[in-house]
Structure 1
Amino acid sequence: MDTTAAIAAIFAIVRRIPSGRVTSYGEVAARAGLKGRARMVGRVLGDAPDDAPVPWFRVLKADGRIAFPIGSDAFKEQVQCLRKEGVRVATNGRVDLGRYGWSSEQTLDALLWG
């Protein structure tokens, strides 16, 4: 997959993450056909223009933590965006993936049952 197609695939997957749900960089990569390219997802989202219509804030590290340094402006912005959607974020920047994670099963249920 060339770079332009990879970027488009990453953006398409991130746009599909439902409000109030989160997923990991690695999961986005896998769903975009880029298994093992989690860092690429991080770079693509980090390089996206500020006005890009992509809910970048719904993407976290594999352990459910926000990737930005705690207390940084970007960290605070991501926490604020997630909390607006009802996602509980701990003071250390961790989100309970069991509760808020976007899984393949949820996607399949939505496809089958609406």
Structure 2
Amino acid sequence: MADKNREGFFESVYEMVAQVPSGMVATYGQIAKLVGESRRARYVGYALHVNPQPGVIPCHRIVFADGRLAAGFAFGGPEAQRELLEAEGVEFLDDGRVDLTRYRWPAGVM
């Protein structure tokens, strides 16, 4: 992805992630689809790893398609991500995944 395209993509990702409400999560693939790049879920992860405004752009609300947290969560690891989500009322299954049937943001989900 060329730098100019990457910057535009990253900005689109940040704008979409900023819309995920407190107490809900979205998946990397869901965000990619919502910004019109359905095959770029990995790039969503790259964008969030370099989030220029942690705490403003709620990257902690983005999880894997099965509800797992990101082992490489850039702002304190998966424990910090879990704490942030729990503080918003998100509950976890016994195996540590977010229950997507209860907490997934419905935008773009069929």
> For this structure pair, what is the TM-score category when the shorter chain's length is used for normalisation?
0.7 to 0.9
Partner of 1:84: 87
Q: Which consecutive unaligned segments of at least 5 residues does structure 1 have?
A: 107-114
Are the structure 2 counterparts of residues 12 and 105 from structure 1 closer, same or farther at C-alpha, using a change threshold of 3 Å? closer
**How many Å separate the matches in 1 of 2:43 and 2:55?**
17
Q: Which of 34, 39, 42 pairs up with 1:36?
A: 39
Post-superposition shift, 1:50?
Answer: 6.1
Alignment of 1:1-114 (within 5 A): 2-49=5-52, 51=54, 53-68=56-71, 73-90=76-93, 92-104=95-107
Query: Which has the greater radius of gyration?
Result: 1
Name segments (4+ residues, structure 1) moved above 3 Å: 49-52
Aligned residue pair count: 103
TM-score by length of structure 2 reads 0.83
Work out whether residues 33 and 108 of structure 2, in 8 Å CA contact, stay in contact via their aligned partners in 1. Answer: no
Q: Which moved more, 1:1-10 or 1:26-35?
A: 1-10
TM-score by length of structure 1 reads 0.81
Over aligned residue pairs, what C-alpha RMSD do you find? 2.1
Post-superposition shift, 1:64?
Answer: 0.8
Identity of aligned residues (%): 35
